[in-house]
Each structure stands twice: as structure tokens, then as C-alpha cells.
Structure 1
Amino acid sequence: MLTGICCKLGKALQPKQICFQSVMRFTGITDHRPFDIPREPFNPVSGREPTWTTADEAVQIVKSGDRVFVQGGGATPQELLHSLCKHGRTAGLKDVELVHIHTEGPGEQMEPQYEGIFRDNSMFTGGNARTAIAEGRGDYTPIFLSEIPLLFRRGVLGLDVALVHVTPPDKHGFCSMGISVDVTRAATQSARYIIGQLNKKMPRTLGEGLIHISHFDSVVEIDRPLANKKPLKISDEQRAIGKYIAENLVDNGATLQTGIGAIPDATMSCLTQHKDLGLHTEMFSSGILPLVKKGVITNTKKRIHQGKIVGSFAVGSQEMYDFMDDNQTLLMMDIAHVNNTSVISQNPKVTAINSCIEVDLTGQVVSDTIGTRVYSGVGGQVDFIRGAALGFDGLGKPIIAIPSVTKRGESKIVPFIKEGAGVVTSRAHAHYIVSEHGIAYLFGKNLRQRAHALIQIAHPDHREALEKATFERLKCMPSP
């Protein structure tokens, strides 16, 4: 029936790709949650209440062929996922697609025993998803983080069920998506059926992550700590990279974007003498806390959300979760807003700090794959690299940070990217590349000049070979 409808609508789409809003308007089909009425999670639905139940009972709604959204990061709804796996086995489900960005936890649904029951579709790949993708049991969708909400809102990926992890309702009936608003807000606006995992341990955050209890179809109460990330051990090379960035590229009054990892933490640790820094970032970790406490991050110079830390999702320590809880200085926002290039570029001295897997001698940046093997995702790197480059004041700094060698001593600055690798940040987007050996500024440089700059920050053991490779490729020596 859906295929016939799709033909009448003039769209050559498969059933799972159909814009369900259009289908509903065309046919007049209705259910308890019609697609042609925009759902706004901030607005209570009069007279509507969810069913309070157990996780095992709540997931019984999922049937074969459904597409299920799973909230990610530290908010991954582990109890609901575990119950869904049990339901998948006992009910004999087939071809259930699970859609998500990076998730924490074991990723039980991606184990070999669930092949044919669940098909995992990762839009940013965590460690628990890499094996399934490499073995052909899971999928990876390369997409800008800022555009994932469009998949849901436009019906490109129609969502049957959403599994979300939120706070219990306040006195007005509002739950908070806490540490993971990101693409979750769009999923709750779009899914036909919403199951909430209500957790007293979830921080209540302000911004765009509130959803009224009346929008849930069923809810499950738990009381469990969130996933914690222990501080990473910072190597000498990573500390040197952080120092180069902090001392040479971060100005007082800059608006920072940084992620989770040893290099961002190393950079943050070197910023203690800076003044009036702002934070507008897709994700953040516990590394920001010392700078907030010292009064280094004040957000007073920002033009967008002045005085506020702006983020979209976070994974960190319990100390960080306590900091986030009901904090008036913090706004957790929809990723479509946080990562919007036109929004990013309106803040002063935007300094975007991102990492990668390898860089070739022309400046092509590989960030999501190691050869053909999917490692992470496109994420928000290009969103912020471009936002910094287009800053209204012309003082933005798009930065890619990379150790010069792998743990096995292989150069990460290479003549050619590995076969099958994907370029995330193009050579036209690349401005600053930083290793523990220095800073290469590529903007406006030709290929010969780029190669020279990158060779200067490569490991000394590999510079001669890189020079020879450049000559073979360009038929001239790299030079400034």
C-alpha cells in the first residue's frame, strides 16, 4: 500500500524512506499521534498521560521492520535496550533498524546472535559498533551532525519508536533530556511512539531539551548512575600539542569548540591564564570544569547566548554531571542550532579544535575511517571548521590537531591517504594543522607550500621520505 501511495506522490522511494507526513496528508490515515500535526515537546498535550510500566512491557510495541531511535552518549537507555534485545529473541523479530549516534555501554544488540533481528545504523560510530560494521552486520551513515535532525524532521528516516532517557517530571510535568539533547529533540518530534526511561540520576539541564510527560506513550522508572568517563592519561606528545594550541592560537575572549579526548583536555589544562573565554561546542567533558571555577570561561564576550555555556551532549565524570544539574549558566541545545555554521560564525574569535586520523600532504583530513574500516564519524568537525573560518570578525581559527605518529611509529602525515579512507575535512577547508612538532598554516597555500608546511610538523624520522614522496608527486621540491 505504501509503495502505491509513494508512486501517487511522485516519489521513487522505498517504503522505509517515505515521508510519513506526506503519506498521512494524502491518505487521511490517522493514529494516536498523527504526523501532519507538528509536535512541540515544550507544549503539554491536554488530557494525555503515558502508561507507567516496566522496561520489558514497554518495548513490546516494537515489531518486525520498525525503525527505532536510540538516544546516545552517556544517556544511552541501557535498561530499555536490554529489554528490547530480550523482546527481539522471544518474539522472533526481524529487520528492526536501530538508529543512533555514538552510544555508551556494551551494545548488546550488535552482537552476532542478533543478526537478522536488529540492524544497527550508526551515524557516529563508537567502539561498541565498529566490529559489527566491519563484519557487515551493522551500517554506518556518513552525515554532518548538524543535518541528522533533518533526516527525522523531513521524514527521510521515518521513526516508528524512540527510546529516550530523561529526568522524572517536575511539578509542571516537564522532563529534561539532560546530558543528551543533540539529535534527540528531533527524534521526539518525529517518532510515532515514545518510550521514556525516567532516571533520578539524570541531571536536569536547561535549554531546548525539555519534553512534557504527556508526549510519552509509556515510561519506565529507574535509579541508576550515568556512564562515567574517567580522565584520560595525557601523553607528552598530546600535552605538547595542547600547549602549542593554547599559547599560539587561543586568544583572550575567544569562543571555543572542543570535544572529548586527551588533546582537548591537554589544551584546556594550558588555558588557565586566559581571560573571558566562551564555550559554544557540540560536546564537552570534565576538562572545562577547572576553567569555569577559575573564572577563565565567562562567556561575556559571546554574541550568541552571551553569558551562557552552550552545548548539545556531554560525557564525563559525576562531578561534571553535578555541575550540569539545574545550572542556569548552561544551555543544552538542539544540534541543528549548536552546529549551525551561521550561528557559530556570529561569535567572536571562534576557535575550533578537532582531531583526526591522518592528513595527506595536500591537507586532506581523514577523521572517520582507518582505510576502509569505520572508526568514528563525520560528526561536527566540518560544521565548526567552517563556522570558525567564516567568523564575522575574521579572527576565527579552524584547527586540526594530530600526533605526528601512530602508536606503532607510523607517520600520520602521509603522501596519500589510505585506500578506502574517507575525507571529512577537505583540503580547501583546512587552515591550521597542529602536531607536537609545531603548527602548519595551510590557508591560501599552494600544494608545494602545503607539503613543505606539513613536513615541518611531521616526525623527524619521516621527513626525508615525505620530501621524496612530494617530489615524485609534484615534480618539484616542497618549499615555503
Structure 2
Amino acid sequence: MNWKEIYNSRLCTAEEAVKSIQSGNRVAFAHAVAEPTVLVEAMIANAEAYHDVEVCHMVTLGKGLYSKPEYKDHFRFNGWFTSPSTRDSIAQGHGDFTPVFFHEVPNYIRKGIFELDVFMVMVSPPDEHGYCCVGVSSDYTMQGIESAKIVLAEVNDQVPVVFGDTFVHVSKIDKFVETSHPLPELALPKIGEVELAIGKNCAELVEDGATLQLGIGAIPDAVLQSLKDKKDLGIHSEMISDGVVDLYEAGVINNSKKGLHKGKMIVTFLMGSKRLYDFAAKNPAVELRTVDYVNNPCVVAQNTNLVCINSCLAVDFMGQVVSDSIGTKQFSGVGGQVDFVRGAAMSLDGEGIAIIAMPSVANKKDGTMVSKITPYIDHGAAVTTSRQDVDYIVTEYGIAPLKGKTLKDRARNLINIAHPDFREELKAEFEKRFNAKF
């Protein structure tokens, strides 16, 4: 059969497609924006036909109904990352979490550690050669398609065609469901005075010609706003958001000084607004690669003048960084933070630096503040970036270099960039902890 015959023979409704799922299966979704919402909704609607279906993925922008208590006899959420719609299931006991570095997920799938019975993905319509494009999510999505026993695809004509490791032939997919709907979009973050101050402090560590890795949210966008006077910046990042488009259009980001993939932004997934998706569509300057390449520390290390900027929930006096849990509660996941922190440390040119940026305080629901710089991490919290790996911590009050510093000097540097309301209290804890004057 030619590809059109293959495609037409496998077309069906979403209701028919999800009948491929059997009780006891492990079902994984493509990542973030590439999650096939129509197929997920059909799976939920067919819940009575299933018992103990394990649902796995990293970030979801969906409702996560399969993780709710009313579906616990039918679905069991096992997150490789957690999102607002899924994290409560872990605390409630009917969901679970598997720690994993982002760059290792494809290898876990290949080796059968994450053996997939069914993989569900959203793709573009096939081109004239019979190839669909995953569009916004190469990461572990491409390996999921390759390794799963059954692949179900939602063919959405609004998925952008983005170059790189993103194309899959129709023969690799078992069921096609045609849809047409906009991709999920993220609202632009609100950037206040605190975020702007953090952004300016981070920008002090970025030189002309640097290659950047940034996450998503108010702090990364504030950093990007603070880089408008820089020149010849490049991107090698787990993801990009709309702030990168602004700097590219302003000529600040041109990828001309990169030591790896000169002239191109290399990312593993996209998550932002339609403007971002339209920017990436058929743009030779943007290339999506799988996460076992983009986030592999050995690949990260090949970039020149690398600056990695990530965020966290808390840092203790020793420099232990907590980014994915609040006490015993699983909040998110390790993602790619450690991949890039270690890649920067391994930089072949010896110039890589890793920044953990955060506001100095968190505001509780009752309006009170708590310091994010603490003498000890919370009971039950997991260390994301170890004290051996940590490089720079940045808040709105300054920059704390930690690499190569003693425990006392680390604590002093951190207290100096803590919120002023907590510094005296932290100094007292310092003297009690170290039996020494601050």
C-alpha cells in the first residue's frame, strides 16, 4: 500500500481508537502541548471499560481527570513530572511519582524500564511523502512513538510543522483521529519589581556571545527583558517561550557565536502562545531534537559560553537546592535542571555557569512571608541540585557564588541575598549551626 492507503485504512473516531487500550496497560501521553486532548477525553469517557490503566507523562496542560479520586478504580496516575491538575493524586495515595532526569526518559522507554503499551500523540496532517510532524514536542515523544506497542495519533491541522527530529511516517502509527482545534497556550507571566530585579542580577552574569538555557515563567522572561543590550546570544535549551521571540526579532539572539549548531536555536519542546508556535513553524532557525540529545550533559557541555538559568522552591545554608517538592508533597519534577547544571560544569571551554534564580521569599495563603533561604531543607523534601553541583544562587537582592565555597561562606553569601526581614533570624541560626560569628 502507498502511504495514503495506509493512512485512510487506519482512520477512525476517537471513541474507536481508545478501544485499543486494555485493562492493566501502561498508557503514556506526548509531552505538554503535544498531548492529544481529544483522545484523552475519549479515554476518560470510556473509563468503565478499563481497570487499573497506568497513565504516565511529564507536563500536562490538560484537566488530568484520570488522576481524580472518582476514577481511581479505572486509572492510576504515575507521573514523571507533576502538574497542578495531577499532583494531588500523589498526596491522596491513589497516584504515584517516578523520579527521573528528563534526558534519561527516552532511554528508559527504549530499555523497557518505562515499557509502553499505548502511546498517544498529537501530530500534523501527513505531507506529500506521508510524514506527520509532532510539531511542538520532540523530547520523549519520538521515542514513545518508536517503542510503544500501539500508537494512537490525533491529527490536528493546527499543529505547526517544525524542523528537526519531529517527523514520523504514517506507517508507524496504528490509529488516526482527525481533529481541528487550537493548541494550548500559556498566558504571558506577570513580571513585577522582584522579577525585574532578579532578571537584572542574572543578566550581570551573561556576556555577549553567550549560549542560553532558560525555563518558563516570570523570572526567565524577566531575564530575557534584561538582555536587550547584549549581542550575539544563542539558544540551546530544553524549551523556549515568547520572550525568546522578542530578542530574536530584535537581533539580540542570532546564534552566530554558538559552538554547536551555529545559526540555530536547539530546543526539545515548545510551550507558550500561538505567536511562539507560528514563529517556530518551518523556521530554519529553530530545530527540535529529542531530549536525550538536547539535555544530555555531554552535549550541553559542547556549547560555548553557556549560561543555564533555572528556578527553585528553596535553598538551604549548604546550597542544597529543592525544586520539585514541598516537604513530603511532590510538587513538580526534576525535569532538566540537573541535566543543564551538570552540562555547564562539564563545559569543554571551561566557561559554563549555572544559575538558580528565585524570589527571596514565598507568600503564603494567609499573607505571611517565608524565607526561601533556610538553615535546613524541610522535613521530607528532596534535594534536586546537590550542594556539590550548585554554582550561583540569585535573588532580587544579589548574587551568591557557592562553587568552591566552604559551608560557612556559602551560608554567609546566601544570607546576604536573603530578604532583609529574615537576615537577623538567619544570622542567629548561622551562629547556632556553625558555632561561629557571622
Q: Does 1:321 align with 2:280?
A: no
Work out whether residues 175 and 213 of structure 1, in 8 Å CA contact, stay in contact via their aligned partners in 2. Answer: yes
Aligned to 1:26: none
Q: Does 1:456 align with 2:416?
A: yes
Aligned to 2:245: 289
Aligned to 2:335: 379
- Kindly report which structure 2 residues correspond to 1:27-66, keeping only aligned pairs within 5 A, or say none: 49=7, 51-66=10-25
Amino acid at match of 1:405: V
Amino acid at match of 2:25: D
Amino acid at match of 2:224: M
3-state SS of the aligned residue for 1:142? Answer: coil
Aligned to 2:317: 361
Q: Does 1:469 align with 2:433?
A: no
Amino acid at match of 2:96: D
- Kindly report which structure 2 residues correspond to 1:250-265, keeping only aligned pairs within 5 A, or say none: 250-265=206-221
Amino acid at match of 1:334: T
Work out whether residues 97 and 121 of structure 1, in 8 Å CA contact, stay in contact via their aligned partners in 2. Answer: yes
- Kindly report which structure 2 residues correspond to 1:63-462, keeping only aligned pairs within 5 A, or say none: 63-89=22-48, 91=49, 93-246=50-203, 248-407=204-363, 408-462=368-422
Amino acid at match of 1:126: S
Give unmatched runs, 5+ long, in structure 2: none
CA offsets per residue over residues 222-258 of structure 1, 9 Å max, x none?
Answer: 0000001111111211110001111x10111100000
The RMSD of aligned alpha carbons is 1.3
Work out whether residues 152 and 186 of structure 1, in 8 Å CA contact, stay in contact via their aligned partners in 2. Answer: yes
Work out whether residues 4 and 130 of structure 2, in 8 Å CA contact, stay in contact via their aligned partners in 1. Answer: no
Work out whether residues 178 and 209 of structure 1, in 8 Å CA contact, stay in contact via their aligned partners in 2. Answer: yes
Give unmatched runs, 5+ long, in structure 1: 1-43
Give me the TM-score of the superposition, normalised by structure 1. 0.88
Amino acid at match of 1:342: C
Deviation at 1:47? 8.3
CA offsets per residue over residues 366-414 of structure 1, 9 Å max, x none?
Answer: 0000111111100000000111122111111100001111113110000
Amino acid at match of 1:88: A
CA 1:340–1:46 in 2, change beyond 3 Å: closer, same or farther?
farther
Work out whether residues 292 and 298 of structure 1, in 8 Å CA contact, stay in contact via their aligned partners in 2. Answer: yes
Structure 1 stretches of at least 4 aligned residues deviating more than 4 Å after TM superposition: 44-50
3-state SS of the aligned residue for 1:194? Answer: strand
- How many pairs does the alignment contain? 432
CA 1:140–1:328 in 2, change beyond 3 Å: closer, same or farther?
same
Deviation at 1:149? 0.9
| In 2, Cα distance between equivalents of 1:386 and 1:159 | 29
Work out whether residues 255 and 347 of structure 1, in 8 Å CA contact, stay in contact via their aligned partners in 2. Answer: yes
Amino acid at match of 2:385: T
| In 2, Cα distance between equivalents of 1:193 and 1:449 | 55
Amino acid at match of 1:157: F
3-state SS of the aligned residue for 2:46? Answer: helix
Amino acid at match of 2:73: G
Work out whether residues 143 and 378 of structure 1, in 8 Å CA contact, stay in contact via their aligned partners in 2. Answer: yes
Give me the TM-score of the superposition, normalised by structure 2. 0.97
| In 2, Cα distance between equivalents of 1:314 and 1:219 | 23
| In 1, Cα distance between equivalents of 2:399 and 2:125 | 48
